[in-house]
């Protein structure tokens, strides 16, 4: 029988790709949509993937428990994917309480709503490699101790342990995916990979001359969001709920990412990248490098897209976006 899923965070990068993946498997997909005064841009990622009209968007906000309950009563989902969060680490230093309320307590609201309305549903929590923070082992696995380094990571850790606790206390099918960084042409423009590929496109097309970045020495284990949402889905198809690291097992510095992106269009990154102390974080996560062996052994998941292919896809998408804007500037919506 066809299944129903509810995705919180459906308007974000992962929510959009996950909705596309579930629709392709015949799911009815509901998504939580928070009210915005700029409603016309809110479905942009879903529109980009051509699925805006195929999902059922329902009003709600993760920090409002009553709306979480009402949404589950409306959707009656078999599977709940809790992807909504204040997900930008840098902002969490400026807005630690909001981040705690949405990214931490918001997950507890969804777990509570599920316990009240549909305790037999399956729950996915979007945990993060940021929880490893100041890494305690060179290669991080499900057994590596956590050491969060930002209000975002602390909030994610609370949500992570609440997921484990609801599983152990109430027997709920609640799983947590500890996902390492994953990117795509739908990545928010504030995150470093998309900031770089957008900057490369602007510079190549003569719209900008330089790109300002912060710490170039940090390294990240970057995969493609399209591959990673498949792991979320697979986790909820397992008989037993559990926690899984999802990563590529390759770590690359911001500097090397710049080199790859600029050289894709025949430019030398050192001619254009400028570092700025304003973009440094109060505390940094220097290295992340994940080992996803458990997921591979349990349900055969491996990252399919290489970093090189992903960088090329992102740069090409940003070139196409800017070329379209040059050809037909968008009229003001006001």
260 binds ligand GDR (CB under 6 A): no
DSSP string of 104-153, one letter each residue: IIHHHHHHHHHHHH-TTSEEEEEEEGGGT-S-SSSSB-TTSPP---SHHH
211 binds ligand NDP (CB under 6 A): no
CB of 247 to ligand GDR, least distance (A): 10
Beta strand pairing call for 219-220 and 252-253: antiparallel
215 binds, among ligand GDR, ligand NDP, none (CB under 5 to 8 A by kind): ligand GDR
Q: DSSP character for 271?
A: G
Point out the residue whose Cβ comes nearest to ligand NDP: 12
- Cβ-proximal residues to 15 (8 Å cutoff; 6+ apart), any chain: 7, 8, 9, 31, 45, 81, 83, 84
51 binds ligand NDP (CB under 6 A): no
Set 17, 79, 81, 130: catalytic member: 130
CA-CA distance, 7 to 15, in Å (whole number)? 7
Per the annotation, the verdict on 24 as an active-site residue is no
CA dist list (Å): 45 to 25, 42, 82, 157: 19, 8, 18, 28
Residues facing 32 on adjacent strands? 58
Per the annotation, the verdict on 316 as an active-site residue is no
63 binds, among ligand NDP, ligand GDR, none (CB under 5 to 8 A by kind): ligand NDP
Which two three-digit tokens encode residue 299? 């349900």
For ligand NDP, which residue of 4, 28, 71, 86 counts as binding (CB under 6 A)? Answer: 86
CA dist list (Å): 236 to 80, 122, 128, 218, 277: 9, 6, 17, 32, 42
CA-CA distance, 173 to 77, in Å (whole number)? 13
Length of the chain: 334
298 binds, among ligand NDP, ligand GDR, none (CB under 5 to 8 A by kind): none
Number of residues near ligand GDR (by CB under 6 A): 22
Give me the 75-114 binding string for ligand GDR, x by CB under 6 A, dash otherwise. ------------x-xx------------------------
Set 92, 128, 175, 176: catalytic member: 128
CA-CA distance, 90 to 281, in Å (whole number)? 7
Number of residues near ligand NDP (by CB under 6 A): 26
Per the annotation, the verdict on 128 as an active-site residue is yes
99 binds ligand NDP (CB under 6 A): no
Residues facing 333 on adjacent strands? none
Which two three-digit tokens encode residue 73? 């009563």
CA-CA distance, 95 to 16, in Å (whole number)? 25
CB of 292 to ligand GDR, least distance (A): 14
For ligand NDP, which residue of 182, 224, 264, 272 counts as binding (CB under 6 A)? Answer: 182
CB of 8 to ligand NDP, least distance (A): 6
45 binds ligand GDR (CB under 6 A): no
15 binds ligand NDP (CB under 6 A): yes
For ligand NDP, which residue of 9, 100, 133, 290 counts as binding (CB under 6 A)? Answer: 9
130 binds ligand GDR (CB under 6 A): yes
Cβ contact 184:17 at 8 Å? yes
Closer to ligand NDP by Cβ: residue 4 or 181: 181
What is the Cα Rg of the chain in Å?
Answer: 20
- Compute how many other C-beta atoms are within 10 angstroms of the C-beta atom of residue 243: 18
181 binds ligand NDP (CB under 6 A): yes
Question: Which residues of this chain interact with ligand NDP, rule CB under 6 A?
Answer: 8-9, 11-15, 32, 34, 36, 42, 61-63, 83-87, 102, 126, 128, 179, 181-182, 188
Question: Which residues of this chain interact with ligand GDR, rule CB under 6 A?
Answer: 87, 89-90, 128-130, 180-181, 190-192, 195, 213-215, 218, 220, 254, 279, 281, 284-285
The residues carrying an active-site annotation are 128, 130, 152
């Amino acid at each position: 029988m066809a299944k129903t899923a509810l995705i919180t965070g459906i308007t974000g990068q992962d929510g959009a790709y996950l909705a596309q993946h579930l629709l392709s498997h015949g799911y009815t997909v509901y998504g939580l949509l928070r009210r915005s005064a700029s409603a016309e841009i809110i479905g942009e990622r879903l529109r980009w993937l051509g699925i805006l009209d195929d999902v059922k968007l329902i009003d709600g906000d993760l920090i409002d428990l009553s709306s979480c309950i009402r949404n589950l009563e409306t959707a009656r989902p078999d599977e709940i994917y809790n992807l909504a969060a204040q997900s930008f680490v840098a902002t969490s230093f400026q807005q630690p309480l909001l981040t705690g309320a949405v990214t931490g307590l918001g997950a507890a609201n969804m777990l509570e709503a599920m316990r009240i309305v549909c305790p037999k549903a399956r729950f996915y929590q979007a945990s993060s490699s940021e929880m490893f923070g100041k890494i305690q082992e060179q290669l991080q696995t499900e057994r590596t101790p956590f050491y969060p380094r930002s209000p975002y990571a602390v909030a994610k850790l609370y949500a992570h342990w609440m997921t484990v606790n609801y599983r152990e206390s109430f027997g709920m099918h609640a799983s947590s995916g500890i996902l390492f960084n994953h990117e795509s042409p739908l990545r928010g423009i504030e995150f470093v990979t998309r900031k770089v590929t957008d900057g490369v496109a602007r510079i190549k097309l003569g719209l900008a001359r330089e790109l300002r970045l912060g710490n170039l020495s940090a390294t990240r284990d970057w995969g493609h969001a399209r591959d990673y949402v498949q792991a979320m889905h697979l986790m909820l198809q397992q008989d037993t709920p559990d926690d899984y690291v999802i990563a590529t097992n390759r770590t690359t510095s911001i500097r090397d990412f710049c080199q790859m992106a600029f050289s894709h269009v025949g430019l030398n990154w050192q001619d254009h990248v400028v570092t700025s102390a304003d973009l440094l974080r109060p505390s940094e996560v220097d290295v992340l490098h994940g080992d996803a062996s458990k997921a591979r052994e349990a349900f055969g998941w491996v990252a399919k897209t290489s970093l090189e292919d992903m960088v090329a896809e992102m740069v090409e998408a940003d070139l196409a976006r800017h070329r379209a804007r040059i050809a037909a500037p968008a009229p003001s919506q006001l």
